Amino acid sequence: MLLASIFLIPTYFVKIQFHDFKTNIFEISVFISLILTILSLFSTKPRNTIKLGSIWAFLFIFSAAVAIFLSNDLTKAVGIFKGWFFVPYILYLLIINIFSKKDFPKIAGAILLSALLVSVWAIMQKFGVRHFFSNQNDSELQSFLNRQNPRVFSIFESPNYLAMFLAPIIFISLMLFRSLKKINLKILVLIPVAVLIITLYLTDSRSGMIALLVSAAFLSIKFLLKKQNLIRYILLIFIILITGNAIYYFMKIDIHPSSETGRQKIYSYSTQMVKAHPILGVGLGGYVESLANTARNDKEFLVYFLPDALHPHNLYLAIWLNLGLAGMILFIILLAKFFINISEEFDSDFNVIIFSAILTILIQGILDTTYFKNDLSAIFWLLGAMSYLAKKPDSKIIHNLAFSISRTKFILDW
């Protein structure tokens, strides 16, 4: 069931409401997985061991819970906490308790299949299938399709959101490729991976392409350095030159001038907001209201850019403003913990791939907000769970604190 939940990550847009309680298909699937897991624990006679994950992960989620009470709209803040923090954290706990490192290819297969369907949907938009696969009443989305070079967005709210979803999954998918022995099966996996890369290119997302290129270059260099010879060194030089030129191209090209003006203003006002609220931030979900107040004298911004400025287009500004300084510090510690886990066995192909996927999120996060959305936060915590499972099992470093309740043993990682 948990693999089904991973496959269903993009289905958060299918909303379901029970009286005043709002949820979606992805959240329901996670809670079903949770219930089934709890039932299985109670039905087994041997003493159970439950992993509580990293204490830094818990503290980061706790900082988000505290940020609810700093918001002017508690209902909105609670909804954001549920969808972007609590449910993804439950997914994290389920993965570290149900799966092990040998299950990484299964996880990669589930998320690859999901991303492939999303990508096929997007490619169909590129070739004119729009009336069934897009919202005809959304003028902004239609404007992406009606350009001379249409930008695809699939089921998401914008091409950039699609790019943020696909970029890390491209690397996660490589786990399935590395696990296969037969050449024909490897080629079969590379076909959907290629579809994802093509779709990412069709989103026309500059941040997505830069993140993909940098992470791909790192991954290539790491694998080529495993065996050192002249041919590999020559290949490394070509990779560095090609990547550098490609990044320079994507940095210099001015694809959307009006969008660039809006981004610059968003960064400027967001920085002012951090200076005005350096400790507590603006509360969970309080960004738009605070931005409108900060830019109240900029009529052009309020009319043309504010309606689309749901986030500061920067992951780190978004964390600081939503969760405050404590949340930002915990986020940095949490990332450090992820990387420490991976580094214990950095010769492992799986660990290098996890590093590349997280690196993609962080690089893309410089120009986009690669966490504050249901699917993006789920992918972040999925990678966090993988990094937890990827750590060296026989490490001499004391990693956890164990305690028991009844016949259940709990392990909390420090």
pLDDT tens, residue by residue, 249-284? 566 555 555 566 778 888 889 999 999 999 999 999
pLDDT at 57: 96
- Rounded average pLDDT over 184-200: 93
What predicted TM-score, i.e. pTM, was given to this entire model? 0.90
Q: Could you tell me which of 135, 213, 162, 98 has the C-alpha nearest to residue 376?
A: 162
Residue percentage of the chain with pLDDT more than 90:
53
Is residue 236 scored above 70 in pLDDT? no
Q: Does the structure show a pLDDT above 60 at 131? A: no
Using the predicted structure, report yes or no on whether residue 396 has a pLDDT greater than 50: no
CA 274 to chain centre: 23
Q: Where residue 137 falls among pLDDT bands split at 50, 70, 90?
A: low
- Comparing 88-97, 101-110, 320-329, 399-408, which segment has the lowest mean pLDDT? 399-408
Confidence category of residue 232, pLDDT binned at 50, 70, 90: low
Question: What pLDDT, on the 0 to 100 scale, is given for residue 252?
Answer: 55
Taking phi first (over 0 means left), then psi (-120 to 50 degrees means alpha), and beta for anything else, what does residue 285 get?
left
43: left (phi over 0), alpha (psi -120 to 50) or beta: alpha
Quote the Cα angle for 252-255-256, to 5°: 125
Q: Assign 397 a pLDDT band (cuts: 50, 70, 90).
A: very low
Mean pLDDT of 86-106: 95
Q: What is the pLDDT of residue 129?
A: 72
> Has residue 202 got a pLDDT over 70?
yes
Please state which of the ranges 158-167, 272-281, 295-304 shows the lowest mean pLDDT.
295-304
Average the pLDDT over each of 44-58, 80-94, 222-236, 272-286 and give the range with the smallest value.
222-236
Q: What is the mean pLDDT of the chain?
A: 85
Cα–Cα distance, 377 to 7 (Å, whole number): 15
Strands (E), 269-398: none
- Using a 10 angstrom Cβ sphere, with 0-12 exposed, 13-18 middle and 19 or more buried, the burial of residue 238 is exposed
The answer to whether 352 and 346 have CB atoms below 8 angstroms apart is yes
3-state SS record for 133-153: CCCCCCHHHHHHHCCCCCCCC
192, 193, 194, 195: CA torsion to nearest 10: 50
- On whether the CB atoms of residues 71 and 77 are closer than 8 A, the answer is yes
Question: Three-class SS of residue 180?
Answer: coil
Q: Do the beta carbons of residue 385 and residue 92 sit within 8 Å?
A: yes
CB-based contacts of 260, cutoff 8 Å, min separation 6? 254
For residues 60 and 345, the model is more confident at 60
Bigger pLDDT: 361 or 227? 361
| CA 77/CA 82 separation, integer angstroms | 9
Of 2-11, 42-51, 54-63, 341-350, the least confident: 42-51
